[in-house]
Structure 1
Amino acid sequence: MRIGVIGAGIVGLSTAYALRRYPVTVRVFDRAAPMTGRSRGGTRIFRYAHDTPALVRYAARAREGWNRWERTSGQVLIGAETTVVSGDGAAERYAAMRAAGVRCGLYPSLASVPGLPARPETPGPFLVDPAGGVIQAARTGAFLAAAVRRGLVVDEVERVTAHGHAATIHSSRGSWQCDSVLVAAGAGPLVPEVVADPEHHFRFTFPLAPGADPRCWIERSGSWRDGFTTYGHRAGAGLWALGAHLPAEDTAWSLPVAEARRRALSAVTAYVREFLSDVVSPEPVDEVYCAPTRGLGDGIHVARSGPVLSVWGENLFKFAPALGADLAAAVASRGLPEDLP
C-alpha cells in the first residue's frame, strides 16, 4: 500500500512516524523543508486546560505519546514549567479538567500563583495546569524528520485527483499514484471542505530579567485593553515569547504583511511596557509569522473524500502524538479517525 502525506509540519510528520508500524510505503510532500510552515518556531505551549472534558482527555492521551517520544529520542520534549490560564474561561477550563479527572487548581488572585511575569494588579481567576509546559517544537520536528527522512519529498503539490479507490498527487516535478492520501497542510486550497479565512499573526520574543523562569501563561482577562488577550512562554534562557489576539481589522488578510506586523508590534510592545513584569525591554529579539485560520479554536476537523483524508485546525501541536496515531490508522484503513474529541 502506498500513502501520500501532504504537509511536513507537526501533524504530517507525526502521522508519517506512526505509519512506520504499518506495512506501507509513505511519501511526505512539502514545498519546503520540514517544520518551516505553520509549525515553524522553536517552542509551543502544552496544556491539559481546554474547554471540554473530551479535549482534556485527548491532551492527556497525547501526553502519554510525548512521554514515549521522549524515551525514544532520549530528549526532553516538554518542560515542567506548568501552564496558567487567567481571566475569561479559566473557571470553565477548571471545570472541564476536574470532570476529566485531571489535577488542577483555581485561585482568585495572583498572590496564590507565583512565577508569572505579571504586575500585582493583574486580575484572575487563575487556573493552574501542573502538567503544562513548554514544548521544544524544533527539537521535536528534528526527531520526527530524522525518523521518516527517507520518505521526505521537497516538492510543491498542485492538486490531488481521485480515481476509484486510488489517488494521484500532482506536484511541480511530476505525479505519484498512491492508495491513500492525508492532506495535513492547513485549511488551504487542497482542503475544499472548509472555506479558509486566513489572518496575519506574529509572535514576538523579548528578553527576560536575569533569573526569571516564568510559567507558561494564557492571559485572557482583557484588562489591559478590552478584547486584547495573549499567550506567552519561556522560549529559552532569558527569553519570553509572546503572541496576542488582536482586533480583526488589524489582522485582516487584505492588509500587507508589513502593515499587519507594524500594528501587531505596536500593540504588543505597549502591552509589554505597561502590563508585564520580568520583561526587561519592549524591543523584540526574534519573531515568528504565520497565517492561522480565523475562528477555528482548539478543535480538530477531519473530512474524507474517497481516498483523500483532510485534517485541519488550530493549536494542534500539543496533540501531535495522539493525532498522528489516529490519522495513521485512518489513512491506512481509508476510514475516519475513531477517537478524535
Structure 2
Amino acid sequence: MALLICCEGANKKDSFNLNEARKDSAVTIVEKDKLEDAILSNDSLDFESNRTSIEKSIVSETRFALNNENGVPYYNSQIGVFIEGFDVGKDGSFYFLGGDQEAILVKYTGRKVQFRKKYPDINPSSFYNINDSTILMLNKKYSKNELFWVDSRDGAIINSFGKIIENKINSCHFTDSTLIVKAFNITDSTSTDTELGVLKFDTRGNLLGYAENVNNVKNEIVRIGVSERGVAGNWMLGIWNGNYLKLIQEINGHFNLYVIGTDGNIIEVRKFDSGPVWEALFGSSYKLINNNLYVMRQENMEVVISIFDMEELHPPQLVQE
C-alpha cells in the first residue's frame, strides 16, 4: 500500500499481583462483559484518571534523511511525499521502498546501508519481509500485477509469479504471509459503493479466496471499539502473544489500545493521551515484531522510526498465557 507520510529504558514487572494491578493508574481491570460498554459510554469508569502518555513507552528513535540518492527513497507528488513500503526484520534491520522514476529498495542495519537496489522496470506497490531471507514485492504498474521474491541480503530478484490477477488493483498490503488485494469488479465480493472487492493470495500468488476485510480478520473484531458516533482512527496493529492488538483514536483525540482474543473477546484496554507519535499513524506505517512496535513517521524531510516497548504498552501481568 502506498503510504502518504506527513511531514528510556522500560521498567518491567516480573510477577502479577491483582491488588497491585488494580492500584496501577494506567490499568483498569473490569469484568470482561462490561468492559466495552464502559469504554464506549464512559459512564461507569473514570478513564480520564487512568490515561498515560504514549511517549513514556518509547525505547528509542532513529532518524533518516529522505533522499532518493543516498537516503530513504520516496515519491514526491503534488499532494505530499509517498513511501511505498516500510518493514522491520527480526534482526532489527529497516527496509524502505520508494523512488520517483524507478523503484528503490534500501536496507539499513542501524544507520548503515546494507544495500540499495534499483528496479527500473518495476514499480512495486507493497512489500513484506517474510522470514528475514525473502522479501515479497507486488508490481501493479500498468496492471502487470506481478509478485516477486527478493533476496533480503542484496535485493536481487530470486523468483516471480505473474500475472496473479487480471483485475485492476486499487491497493494491496501483506498481513503475516498473506497478500491482501483490493481490486475492481470482483464478483460476489464487490461493494456497491466503491466497486471494490477484497481477495487474499499466498506467497506464490495463488488465490486463497475472499477476505472479509483488508485486515483479514473477522468483521466483528474490526468493529470493536467503534461507537455510533464514529472514531477518528482504527488500526489493527498485528498479533502479540497470540492476541490481536488494535488501536482506536476517539473523536476527542484520545487513544484506546485493545487486546483482543482470537475468539473476539476483549481481554484488556489501555487508554492513552494523544501525542505526536500516535497522531502520525494517520500518514505512517508500523510493524509489530520482537516485542516492539515500530512506528514510522515524517518530520520535514526526515523519516523518524519510534520504537515502543510492548511490555510498557501492555504490562505482562495482564497477558493471557
With structure 2 as the length reference, what TM-score do the two structures score?
0.30
Q: Larger relative CO (CA 8 A, sep 6+): 1 or 2?
A: 1
Name the one with the larger strand percent: 2
Name the one with the larger helix percent: 1
